[in-house]
Amino acid sequence: MAPQATLFLGLISGTSADGIDVALASFDPTPRLHAALTHPYPEDLRRRILDLAQGDGRIALDELGALDVEIARSFADAANALLRREGIAAKKITALGSHGQTVRHRPQQTPPYTMQLGDPSVIAEIAGIATVADFRRRDLAAGGQGAPLAPAFHAAMLPRDGVARVVLNLGGIANITILDGKPLRGFDTGPASCLLDAWMQEQLGEPFDRDGAFAVRGTTDETLLARLLGDPYFAAAPPKSTGREVFHLGWLHPHLQDMRTTPADVQATLVALTARSIADAVRAQAPSAREVLVCGGGVHNPVLMRALSAALAPAAVASTATRGIDPDYVEAMAFAWLARERLSRRAIDDICTVTGARGPRVLGGIYFGG
């Protein structure tokens, strides 16, 4: 590790709530990942998060308050676990950027709102590090979607070499960043792993489809696929963003009525839904793209990656690992970078062309450590 590196931590738990990704990064002169880990939630806490995120939103105020603190404690524990493993004192970290845990994202509602839990005051107190959090609501207040925010980091991370490309994040929800020489654009394309994981949990009691083994046993049902792709979200023009509160089993089950598909066929069709919705979005919004660089947990599903390669051809599809960037921690690095920008009081100049905000804004609030 360079002795003069200014170090930041970035933490995020995505819509799958399968753990807290922690990245230790520096950004001068270029982004560099020094260390990383994924810290699991306690199983009971994860179940409560998922029940809230994909349920009807009804929750006792005491339970909501408790979740806010418990999630924050898990985030602080994750940060401390990485620092202990690497033998780094908290005082060596300039700031920690916490995305928090999204439990509701309603940018189209009147009034619009987004909610990420994980009390930053608790994180700052336990970790003893200046914590930057609550990034999304400032953008939403300025008329934006509040998401996705990572495209600004993707643009800073990759060279401007004249090649038109897309960065694809395959989390619970898929989102793309378009880097084609035009103003920066990006948006959520729809479900990635959230429906695949939920169907596996319901049908087999497994948290996810390891290596796509269940999906490969089935066959895509084109009738079902057409029903799923008929959701208005896919045809809506960007800027747009979505989440598990839209794409969950309660959304899927009505489409299965009168269908005779096997559970494996449904899984195969959900893979096709992810691949087709992404490919349709890329062709519509980034027709000149020659390569698609993939990050996020879905990069480890070979069946999904093959489906994407077929759907996006002739554009080349590859993991960000081919560029020396760990695909599992790109999003965590993004929030370390956003913390750096906040401490420098820099507005994120080009994020407004992604989210639709009225102009660049300084994102996030600062909570100083003890």
Tens-binned pLDDT, residue by residue, of the chain (370 aa)? 445 689 999 999 987 788 999 999 999 988 999 999 999 999 999 999 988 987 777 899 999 999 999 999 999 999 999 999 999 999 999 999 999 999 999 999 999 999 999 999 999 999 999 999 999 999 999 999 999 999 999 999 987 788 999 999 999 999 999 999 999 999 999 999 999 999 999 999 999 999 999 999 999 999 999 999 999 999 999 999 999 889 999 999 999 999 999 999 999 999 999 999 999 999 999 999 999 999 999 999 999 999 999 999 999 999 999 999 999 999 999 999 999 999 999 999 889 999 999 999 999 999 997 6
CA 275 to chain centre: 17
Q: Where are the domains of the chain?
A: 7-145+331-367, 150-323
| CA 22 vs CA 142, 173, 333: distances in Å | 29, 19, 8
CA 281 to chain centre: 17
118 burial class (0-12, 13-18, 19+ CB within 10 angstroms)? buried
State whether CATH 3.30.420.40 applies to domain 7-145+331-367.
yes
Distance CA 322, CA 275 (A): 21
CB 12 within 8 A of CB 335: yes
| CA 269 vs CA 176, 199, 202, 255, 280: distances in Å | 21, 11, 16, 12, 16
pLDDT value, residue 1: 45
Nearest to 104 by CA among 223, 241, 221: 241
CB 343 within 8 A of CB 103: no
Q: Matching CATH topology for 7-145+331-367 and 150-323?
A: yes
* Contact partners, residue 164, CB within 8 Å, separation at least 6: 179, 180, 181, 286, 288, 289, 290
Which of helix, strand or coil describes residue 125? Answer: helix
The secondary structure element, H or E, covering residue 71 is helix 61-86
Compute how many other C-beta atoms are within 10 angstroms of the C-beta atom of residue 136: 27
Question: What CATH number should be reported for the domain whose range is 150-323?
Answer: 3.30.420.40
pLDDT value, residue 4: 64
